[in-house]
Structure formats: structure tokens, C-alpha cells
Amino acid sequence: MAFDGIAVQAVTQELNKKLSGGKLEKVYQPENDELVFHIHSKKGNFKLYLSCNSSNARINLITESVPNPPAPLNFCMLLRKHIQGGRITSIIQKECERIVEIPFETINELGFSVNKKLIIEIMGKHSNIILVDADTNKIIDSIKRVSIDVNRIRQILPGKLYEYPPSQDKIPFNQITLEEIEQICMCTPNKLAKVLLSKIQGISPIMAEQLTYGLEISSEIPYSQEETEQTAKIVERNLRTLINNLTKGNLNPTVYLDKTGNPVDFHAVPILSLEGIYDTEEFEEISAAIEFFYSHRSSSNRIKQKSTDLEKAVKNNLDKLYLKKQRLSEDLLKAENSEEYRLFGELLTANLHLFSTGDSKVTVFNYYDGVESTIPLDKKISPSKNAQLYFKKYSKSKTAIKEKSIQLEETNEDINYLESVAVFIDNAETVEEIEEIRNELVEGGYLRKRKIHGKPAKIKPSPLSYTSSQGFRILVGRNNKENDHLTFKLASSKDIWFHTKDIPGSHVILFAEGKEITESAIFEAAAIAAFHSKGKNSENVPVDYVQVKYVKKPAGAKPGMVIFTNNRTVYVNPELPQK
């Protein structure tokens, strides 16, 4: 990923065109390390997204809605106090660094005009968002406070003077001269890209390689004086072309996708080394490319981040349940052999005269099958107590069968429930779905309740909706609570209920709505049920279907768990209706 100085310059130019002179209407802080500004300018209404997350720090305009916490976080409140209602004078990039400054003109409590400055540092794990008083250059506060314990050279704390990150003695890419490029090119061709990266400010490794386009760079023999001059001219030509395109706004923001459609990289200009290797998605503006890249990239996906602790909790609980099931099954197997204890007890009682205290075993005639049986004895106790001991073992085993059978049934129910939750987490497409699943797990006692500021917002059930080729409405539950709501609240008795056979998945309802259900509609709904299940990547998935009136929920059953009768089964390939 290359959110380098070139990409920052492209973003800065776009933001200047759209946001300069704009008024900051609202400030939100969805997460500890990200902000969303609602800005009204002459060009329209915009949402500016700022992130200092170590894996996806960035600044760009967004179109999607980002959910907010019930109560604002401290840094959000501070920004509302100091810059909300203020006007953006411009957006500035520091030289060619990954540092963006947004100056604000605002009014303080006394009615005087004051200037504040928000500084966004995009530097990997050192990324930060800092509010500075423009007149005194003192830090008002930052989204991440950096004390002397963390960094001895540069502290980011309220009241301290703001200092830029230490310079790396690089030459800005838009200021470098041909003579300076010649000095850099005095190296072996195979190290040219690496040296360019270490000497030129604002370029990423992949853009350093792009500057060498048209050169042979595999040789380990140093350039001659003539070769150095020719190489420097080609590097400068590539660099000037890039700078001219940036200056004129002649960009072609592109996202590169692998075969599965996952973003691999993006940039404000086409990356020549990736052309032809990956599929491309082109955009008119750099913000749109950045939003697409980060929203589709699994490693930085908000849903993935939100669901990590849920996946871990479900996995840990399932591992414990699988082990418990194994042990209960083993105990049941042992207990099922308890008839032998009863037989030994009866044979000993009938033959007490054949042995005495101190004997370790006795051989008696088994009058059930007509052969002799050898029975182990406890030498420390009397013959009658040996017989009683076997009867006691028999009685204990019979009780164990009953109790452990109940426990095994409960364990299987818990496993089925958590396996269904795992499927819903894996299939979740929005943060809201993840939060609903989290609430469900908290209520079930699988997760601790998180401390949140303010009253949590109530989430209304909103099942996924599809329409069959013949116009039948089909709804799909996105979690177990929604499954219950869909089956027992929304559906009528004559609607058709679908669920994958012995495979965790969603409840699916095919609504009759006064029409006669067709075979085609049943197969389409079954395919949808297979798609929203653990078997979505399989073929010929078995799906049970039955009228809703035959689906019941046992008393005390966990969310989404039901029993049903009179069902039929079809085998389908997972598929969604074509739009």
C-alpha cells in the first residue's frame, strides 16, 4: 500500500478545491483513532475522514455513513469546543511529507477571532492527529498522547510546543535537480530504486521503482560517468512527468485487484509494474479510490476489526464444548457397559458360600448363559459387601447414563448455537450486524458487557431482503435473534420456512402473500438459504423447508434454535437471485 507523499499531495489538492472556505458543521469520533467531519462549502456538503490507525492511517473524503458511539469521546468533545463552527482557510501539505495541516478560523468564548490548526501525521504506527493553537504553536491536545516514556525525542502532550517529526535529510521530489539526481545515480543499477527511496522525500518503494522505468536495473556493475548521466536524465524525465501530472491535476487514480476482487494496492497515478498483472478499478478522484481500497481490504476492514474479539470468544467456547462433548461421550460409553456390574452382583449374591474375605477373585457358574465366569473381588471386604459394591456401581452407572445424556444433549445444543453464531460473524457485512451479534453473545453470557458512555442505541431487526424471479418476497435473518423475529413475528403460518439441513445458517422465509408457492420459488429460496450458511462454498447443499406453522421454539431454547416437523429436503447450489 502506497499512501506516500505523492498520494497525500493528490488528496490535498482535491480537498483544497472542495473544502477551502468551508464551515465545519459537525465533528464525530467513531473510534479512538478516527474522526469524521461534516463540512459545508460552496462546492456542497462533504464528509472528511481522518484516521491515525497504525494499519490504515489516511485522510480522504467518504460517502459511506460511519456509525458513532452513543456518547462522544473526550477528543471529539475537545474538537467541538475549539473548531466546530470554524472555517477552513486551506489544506496544506508540509513539503512532500505525509503531513497535512488544516487551519481553522473560529470564534472563542469571548467573541474574538482565533486560529487553530489540525495536523494529521500519516506515519504508520506513529500516525497521529494533533490540535495546535496557530498563534502560539502550542499543542491543545492530540488523539494519541506521546509521553517521554514512549518517545524521548518528541513528546505530543497538551501545553508543549509542536515540533515536526525529525527530518530524514531527503530532498522533496518536487524540488530535486538533475545534478542531485546524478549524484544519487552513482551506484549499481540493482540498487538504484533503493537509493532513490532513501534520498528523495515523498516517494514510496513502488514509486521509486517507477522512476527507473525504461532502465536496465539488474546489473551489479556500477554505472560509468556517461551511463550515470543518461540514467539521471531518464529518472528526471519520469519524475517531471509525474510532477506535471500532479500539478495539472492530470491524474488517473487506480486500485489494483487480485483474482478474488480484493484490493492489492492503489495510487493517484497508474503503477506501471502492476499493469497487466492485476485487474484494475479506475476512479475520477483520489478520495473515491482510497475509500474503495480501504473499505474492501480485509486487513483494514472495519468489520474484521470489530469482529476479532467475537471470533476469538466463539472459538474458545466451541473448543471447550468440543472437549466436553468428547469426555461425556467417553463416560457414556463406559456407563453403557454397566449390565456387567448387575450380573456380577447377582452371581456373587447367589454364591456367597464359595468365597471368603481375602480372596482376590472367584469363579462361579453363570446360570444365564451356562458357562463359568471369573469375578474380580476386593480382598479387604466381605463377600456380601463385594456383591453390594457391584450393585452400587450398577446403580451409579445407570444414573450417570441419564445425567450425562442430558448434559450431552445440552452441550450439542450449545455447539449448534455457537456454530451458527460463527457463521453470522463470518457473513456479516456491516458494523451494525457485528454489534447485534455482540449484544446477543453478551446476553448469552459468552462475552462481558463493555462499558460505554451514554445509553446504547436500540437496533431494530432488518433482515436481508430478496425478490425471486417470479416476484416472491424472501427475507433472511442476519443473526439468531433476527431469525426468531423473522420466523415467529414477521412470517405467517402459510409462509415457507427454509434452513440448511444439519448445517448452521440463517432462517429464510418465502412469503406466500396470498399466492400459490411455485417449485421455482422454492428452489430459489433454498439456494439463498444455502448461500447464507456454512455450506455457501459447497455444492448440492441439503435444505429443509416446511410451512411456518410446523416450526416451533422449545421452552428455554437459545435464540435461533427451533424444532420442526413435516419437512421436505431439496439439494441446491448456493446462489443469490440475479438483480
Helix or strand run (H / E) with residue 179: helix 178-184
**pTM for this structure?**
0.70
Return the higher-pLDDT residue of 86 and 1. Answer: 86
Amino acid identity for residue 388 in this structure:
Q
Q: How confident is the model at residue 224 (pLDDT cuts 50, 70, 90)?
A: confident
pLDDT in tens, 161-171: 999 998 888 99
Q: Which strands, in side-by-side order, build the sheet including 464-467?
A: 464-467, 473-476, 508-510, 496-500, 541-547, 568-572
What Å distances lie between residue 383 and 110, 281, 340, 350, 388, CA to CA? 101, 87, 18, 11, 9
Quote the pLDDT of residue 427.
86
Quote the pLDDT of residue 110.
81
Whether 485 shows a pLDDT value over 80: the answer reads: yes
pLDDT in tens, 88-111: 999 999 999 999 999 999 988 888
Quote the pLDDT of residue 348.
83
How far is C-alpha 557 from the geometric centre of its chain's CA atoms? 29
CA–CA separation, 487 and 503 (whole Å): 18
Quote the pLDDT of residue 456.
56
* Mean pLDDT for all residues in the chain: 89
Quote the pLDDT of residue 301.
66
Return the higher-pLDDT residue of 375 and 180. Answer: 180
The closest alpha carbon to 306, from 485, 172, 433, 483, belongs to 433
pLDDT in tens, 504-546: 999 999 999 989 999 999 999 999 999 999 999 999 999 999 9
Average pLDDT on 431-459 reads: 77
Whether 139 shows a pLDDT value over 60: the answer reads: yes
Residues forming a β-bridge with 31: 34
Percent of the chain with pLDDT over 90: 61
Q: How confident is the model at residue 356 (pLDDT cuts 50, 70, 90)?
A: confident
Average pLDDT on 145-166 reads: 92
Amino acid identity for residue 125 in this structure:
K
Q: How confident is the model at residue 86 (pLDDT cuts 50, 70, 90)?
A: very high
Q: How confident is the model at residue 352 (pLDDT cuts 50, 70, 90)?
A: confident
Quote the pLDDT of residue 453.
52
For CATH 2.30.310.10, the residue range(s) in the chain are 5-142
Quote the pLDDT of residue 367.
78
The closest alpha carbon to 536, from 487, 484, 578, 572, belongs to 572
CA–CA separation, 161 and 136 (whole Å): 8
Quote the pLDDT of residue 567.
95
Q: Where are the alpha helices (DSSP H) in 20-51?
A: none
Average pLDDT on 76-94 reads: 95
pLDDT in tens, 250-286: 889 999 998 878 899 999 988 888 888 999 999 999 9
DSSP state of 85: T
pLDDT in tens, 392-407: 888 887 777 788 888 8
Tell me the pairing of strands 541-547 and 496-500.
Answer: antiparallel
Q: How confident is the model at residue 298 (pLDDT cuts 50, 70, 90)?
A: low
Quote the pLDDT of residue 299.
55
How far is C-alpha 249 from the geometric centre of its chain's CA atoms? 35
What Å distances lie between residue 185 and 26, 210, 235, 240, 499, CA to CA? 50, 15, 9, 16, 66
How far is C-alpha 506 from the geometric centre of its chain's CA atoms? 20
- Secondary structure (3-state) at 29: strand
CATH code of the domain made up of 305-427: 1.10.287
The closest alpha carbon to 528, from 459, 460, 472, 461, belongs to 472
For CATH 1.10.287, the residue range(s) in the chain are 305-427
Tell me the pairing of strands 200-201 and 139-142.
Answer: unpaired
pLDDT in tens, 448-460: 876 655 555 566 7
Quote the pLDDT of residue 319.
95
Q: Which CATH class is domain 5-142?
A: mainly beta
Percent of the chain with pLDDT over 70: 96
Which residue reads 442430558 in cell numbers? 406
Residues forming a β-bridge with 255: 266, 281
